[in-house]
Structure 1
């Protein structure tokens, strides 16, 4: 067995694309997500590529979820070499309109779940003398946007946590802490987002494929870089935010109103934030095929 790789959020989107990228003979994959149905189809896809796959239908937002996932992976395969922290949910809505339970659940999933996972997996890394964590952050780890404040707060927190943890691990040469920062990616997360805006959400263009992020995750897990951005076209917003913050605030608000939240009416919904919506899962949300209008 060459490597044991745990992929959280492995049933859909970036996590699923990453699992498929890693899958080959000699690789043991542990796929963790809430949806057992989507996990099973993701596992089938990876097994066809020769990987040994173990699925764990665990909600990482629960306090003991990350430790149960880490312990189960070690019990099954004897070790963990790479932990890919890609589980994530999304929410649209103003600070006032977003329910407390949706905001709190998003932060539990997108931030606290990954912090708990790091705490759970690090003792195994220390015992082995090596191991890699790849956090999946966001462009929103570095910039802000309106009506996505909970997501922005969680992703800002995740970047800060990753950097602090990396500093703690400086004396442990075999342990690497890395983070990948995607911009708008073609995944189902937008269709499954909580929404309290009254409008239909769309990813801000340009949208790139989840496989592009997966390739970056694989490279980071095997290489030496600590932080990698994906989707260079949108990363021009970072200098704009710092050099001309008032211009950025007006620009990003207009962009969100024009392209991110279309005028098509949409009922208020918690989406898949509070509970899993079971289906076969997919890597793509169909957005790259419809860059202006979105999927039908």
Structure 2
């Protein structure tokens, strides 16, 4: 099912209250589609609802915890009943946690898995029967380059993201008998979103994303493009491709260097209180699309050259570290 025009199509976006999900909603809205926005923070959802309606979209807000399988079935049914069926389902909701694996409570690791892995599985499990009934549909999974690149001090997050990539590949294999049902995976690099401000933090240090940091609107636009022209995998930002390649060629060294860089940063970062962040409950702050770590706006060509330079230096560091 290829959608040349998005007008009047129904798009479900989880994690729509902030970050990439909110950016995606704002990218879809001018196409005058039907947006179903889901997240735990109902206040933030209603704010983005007003913005999207002003841009021409019809909007249905459905407060939902993606880690709750029954709630996701409720979301799918509400969206399916609203405007005559779901066309695109975007799995996007996710949480971040940083800290030594053994110093981070297992309940936190478990919730990261429930949200970042089972949340996506819950979404697909809820919508696939509807897509199979219609014989068509598009699932977009916003996985991140974390599906290929391990993140030391984010072991639970890495477990979920690696699991997501494997689950999605298996699902694509199952659906080869359904040629009009697409599963499309997005692998963006680090984004300028509030996600890291919402993160569970057991490091005792203030967190910042690693450069280069990309505009989440770029991910939103890629979601729009994939909804119109589905493709199995899409890497957003040249840094994501380069990081994937680095780990493919030098897996052990890439992991060691990544850990070294994180430890060095944490050693010099400002102290901060330990926090669960938004792991178990939504938070009432920083619900914008952008996190304020970069310059919001359209991507510029020179960023590719910056990413290439960073990758060259990264490989040089790998070589020296090996020596």
* Structure 1 match to 2:56: 50
Number of the residue aligned with 1:106:
112
Per the alignment, residue 186 of structure 2 pairs with 180
The 2-side partners of 1:260 and 1:227 are apart by 33
Structure 1 gap segments, 5+ residues each: 291-296
User: Higher helix proportion, which one?
Assistant: 2
Matched, 1:87 2:93: yes
Is 1:158 the counterpart of 2:151? The answer is no
Does the 8 A contact of 1:25 with 1:52 survive in 2? no
2:11 — aligned with what? Answer: 5
Distance 1:282 1:165 in 2: 32
Distance 1:223 1:191, change over 3 A: same
> Secondary structure of 2:49's match?
helix
Q: Is the 8 A contact 1:92 1:194 kept in 2?
A: yes
Q: Which has the larger strand fraction?
A: 1
Normalising by structure 2, we get a TM-score of 0.86
Does structure 2 retain, via aligned residues, the 8 Å contact 1:200–1:261?
Answer: no
- The answer on whether the counterparts of 2:194 and 2:286 sit within 8 Å (CA) in structure 1 is no
1:268 and 1:176 map into 2 onto residues whose CA distance is 41
Question: For residue 292 of structure 2, what is the aligned residue in structure 1?
Answer: 286
Q: Distance in 2 between matches of 1:204 and 1:177?
A: 29
CA distance in 2, matches of 1:34, 1:260: 30
Kindly provide the CA deviation profile for residues 214-248 of structure 1, in whole angstroms up to 9, marking residues without a partner as x: 11111112114210111212432223223223321
TM-score (norm 1): 0.93
Distance 1:247 1:27 in 2: 46
Say whether the 8 Å CA contact 1:131–1:176 is kept in structure 2.
yes
**1:135 paired to 2:158:** no
Distance 1:115 1:234, change over 3 A: closer
CA shift in 2, pair 1:92/1:261, >3 Å:
farther
**Contact 1:204/1:259 (8 A) holds in 2:** no
CA deviation map 1:173-216 (0-9, x unaligned)? 11000110111000000000001011111111110100011111
Report SS of the residue matched to 2:69.
Answer: coil
Does structure 2 retain, via aligned residues, the 8 Å contact 1:203–1:260? no
**1:70 aligns to what?**
76
Q: Does the 8 A contact of 2:15 with 2:39 survive in 1?
A: yes
The whole-number CA distance in structure 1 between the counterparts of 2:82 and 2:240 is: 41
Secondary structure of the 1:265 match is coil
Counterpart contact for 1:220–1:226, Cα < 8 Å: no
Structure 2 spans left out of the alignment, 5+ residues = 1-6, 297-323
The Cα RMSD (Å) is: 1.7
Tell me whether 1:167 sits opposite 2:173 in the alignment.
Answer: yes
Corresponding residue number in structure 2 for 1:117: 123
- Cα distance 1:206–1:262, how it changes in 2: closer, same or farther (>3 A)? farther
